[in-house]
Amino acid sequence: MESKIRLPLLTLRLSVFLVMFMWTIDKLLNPDHAKQVFAHFYLLENLEAWHLNIIGAVQMLIILAFVVGFKKKWTYGLVFIMHLISTLSSYKQYFNPFEGPSLLFFAAWPMLAAIFSLYILRDYDQLCVIGAKKTGPHLG
């Protein structure tokens, strides 16, 4: 069982990283769009490009540490919190799922569940991680 769970955990981590990476790149390369997102969803209307560069740089450090499994308790937890805030801040879209692109926002929930699963199972996530143990914890 232990060896079977490692590959699915790796694919979850890589796919979550891909989404988070694209969102982070958007902050760095397209600050005007990111500024609109922060104003609309987080009610932060006075952000400048340099604010978004700092936010993007910090987020990039976190998700790079996440993808290589560095300090999993902290990085997996921070990725979960970032995505939780993002998911909850989109609450208006859940009340009008068939208007505009609102239906796409529901994809946030399985991703949140995936990140939660990664966090809970982080000790078993041993493939392609920094400092991976030769054997992980044993499934009972």
40-65 pLDDT, tens digit per residue, is 999 999 999 999 999 999 999 999 99
CA distance 53 to 55: 5
pTM of the model: 0.89
Assess if residue 6 is contained within a domain. yes
Assess if residue 130 is contained within a domain. no
Mean pLDDT value of segment 12-33: 95
Number of separate domains in the chain: 1
* pLDDT above 80 for 84: yes
Assess if residue 68 is contained within a domain. yes
Assess if residue 138 is contained within a domain. no
pLDDT class of 102 with cuts at 50, 70, 90:
confident
Assess if residue 9 is contained within a domain. yes
Range of the domain at 36: 2-124
